[in-house]
Homo-oligomer: A and B are copies of this chain.
Amino acid sequence: MSGAGSQLRDPPASVVPLLDELRRFMDERVKPLERAVLSQPFVESLPLLRPLREEAKRRGLWAPQMPKAWGGQGLSMLEHGFVSEVLGAVPFAHWVLNCQAPDAGNMEILLHFGTPAQQERFLRPLVEGAVRSCFSMTEPDRPGSNPTWLETRARRDGSGWVIDGTKWFTSSADGAAFAVVMAVTDEDAPPHRRASMLLVPMDTPGVRLVRNISVMGHAGSDWPSHAELAYEGVRVPADAVLGEVGAGFAIAQERLGPGRIHHCMRWLGVCARAYELHVERAATRPFAPFVPLGALQMVQEQIALSRIEIHAARLMVLDAAHRIDAVGQKEARDEIAMIKVFVARTMQAVLDRAVQAHGALGVTDDLPLAAFFRHERAARIYDGPDEVHLAALARRALKAHGVKVP
């Protein structure tokens, strides 16, 4: 072995100073705002939070996942993994660094598939944090896990396109400057060539935000929100198409792989935070005079199980990140599928245990656990439910044995 740096779990030396600076920033500036931000609509916290974005730029933390040429920090997937774990401990910290979903994914596809003109118009302000965006693929009447089966249509009209359809769970549409819309452009093409992606400014006539869907008790606003959108005769020019016509599915796949691992990296931070609260509770809460909760073996067992599962999850995520860096996300699709399932399940279990150890306090909003508990339930659903990834893993294993199953 070549030395300490080769141990997967430790950050590469290249990113250590940035991580140190990030931890300071989190402790000094971000965490102190957590309670306030979580207790009011996000839109009302923007005056509090915008200065942090400027500070993140000054501190050299901005847009860690983007190339330096675009004003980011140019981190590899593995390096970003360590950053994202730190950020994940606070629900809005990714937003502060401008590496939050869905914008991070949109930046990525604009970077890879956008024309220079598209990049100047859409990517530039996005990277700079001047605007937000959304990704409009999922439809209420179609399974989100099947991106080859969509109802939204973009039909040719002169040199441009006219889009009609209904989308939902278009996260962060409220207040976004533009949407990346997935629509069928050729119904007669083979399934994986039917759809295209189109760049649609939200103020285009015919784009209508029907509602912010109430999720787990709140409709949300601005960035943390999930819109139902109607596209009614929305007319866009020919150059609204991102990449080639018919490349919608391919670009979606290209976006989803890194998107999934980005979520997993963030979830590591959620897990770490919950575990920290869990242990602290066990150490400090008496269950009888002078006896801490942590003296009870059933409490110990829950702590230990979380410790083990988080350790497993972390190694798997870092391994997947390393593999994406080394061979690309397509070759790493098994690793991505494995962490999508495992880390989401681990997070749910870790949160559940931390809530339980806190008793009544665990379900209150005095701690961030309850918010994590209810909002991260969706982790096992978005970007492909567990079932889809499990089936895909097995099918690829069988294929390696020469058997193709549906």
A169 is an interface residue with CB less than 8 A from chain B: yes
Which residues of the partner chain B approach A325 to less than 8 Å between Cβ atoms?
1
Highest count of chain B CB atoms <10 Å: which of A283, A312, A313: A312
* Residues A295 and B355 in contact, CB atoms below 8 Å apart: no
Q: Which of A124-132, A153-161, A195-203, A301-309 interfaces with chain B?
A: A301-309
CA distance A301 to B398 in the complex (A): 12
One digit per residue, 1 when the CB lies within 8 angstroms of any chain B CB and 0 when it does not, for chain A 320-362 equals 0011011000000011001001100000000010011001111
A69 is an interface residue with CB less than 8 A from chain B: no
Which residues of the partner chain B approach A300 to less than 8 Å between Cβ atoms?
298, 390-391, 393-395, 398, 405
* Residues B7 and A1 in contact, CB atoms below 8 Å apart: no
CA distance A143 to B288 in the complex (A): 8
Q: Contact check: which of B288, B307, B400 meets A146 at CB < 8 Å?
A: B288
A95 is an interface residue with CB less than 8 A from chain B: no
CA distance A299 to B364 in the complex (A): 31
* Residues A338 and B7 in contact, CB atoms below 8 Å apart: no
Which residues of the partner chain B approach A288 to less than 8 Å between Cβ atoms?
143, 146, 149
CA distance A144 to B356 in the complex (A): 13
Are A311 and B338 CB-contacts (below 8 A) given A6-B6, A216-B217, A285-B143? yes
Q: Contact check: which of B313, B335, B391 meets A297 at CB < 8 Å?
A: B391
The copy count of this chain in the complex is: 4
Q: Which of A96-104, A265-273, A378-386 interfaces with chain B?
A: A378-386
Highest count of chain B CB atoms <10 Å: which of A9, A295, A398: A398
A286 is an interface residue with CB less than 8 A from chain B: yes
Q: Contact check: which of B286, B303, B355 meets A377 at CB < 8 Å?
A: B355
A242 is an interface residue with CB less than 8 A from chain B: no
A17 is an interface residue with CB less than 8 A from chain B: no
* Residues A365 and B217 in contact, CB atoms below 8 Å apart: yes
Which residues of the partner chain B approach A12 to less than 8 Å between Cβ atoms?
1
Which residues of the partner chain B approach A360 to less than 8 Å between Cβ atoms?
138, 144, 168-169, 378, 381-382
* Residues B2 and A294 in contact, CB atoms below 8 Å apart: no
Which residues of chain A in 359-380 are interfacial with respect to chain B, using CB atoms and an 8 Å cutoff?
Answer: 359-366, 370-371, 373-374, 377-378, 380
* Residues B304 and A315 in contact, CB atoms below 8 Å apart: no
A70 is an interface residue with CB less than 8 A from chain B: no
Shortest beta-carbon distance from A381 to chain B in Å: 5
* Residues B216 and A370 in contact, CB atoms below 8 Å apart: yes
Highest count of chain B CB atoms <10 Å: which of A2, A9, A319: A319
A190 is an interface residue with CB less than 8 A from chain B: no
> What 7 pairs across the A-B complex have the smallest Cβ distances?
A300-B394, A297-B297, A283-B401, A6-B6, A214-B365, A8-B8, A304-B390
- Which residue numbers of A lie inside 8 Å of B, CB to CB? 1-2, 4-9, 12, 39, 76, 78, 138, 140, 143-146, 149, 168-169, 213-218, 279-280, 282-289, 292-301, 303-305, 307-308, 311-313, 315-316, 319, 322-323, 325-326, 334-335, 338, 341-342, 352, 355-356, 359-366, 370-371, 373-374, 377-378, 380-382, 385-387, 389-391, 393-395, 397-398, 400-403, 405-406
A-B contact pairs, 30 of them (CB 8 A): A1-B78, A2-B2, A2-B6, A5-B6, A6-B6, A7-B8, A7-B322, A7-B326, A8-B8, A143-B287, A143-B288, A143-B293, A169-B360, A216-B373, A280-B401, A282-B403, A283-B398, A294-B394, A296-B297, A300-B405, A301-B394, A303-B397, A304-B394, A311-B316, A311-B338, A312-B315, A312-B316, A355-B377, A355-B381, A359-B381
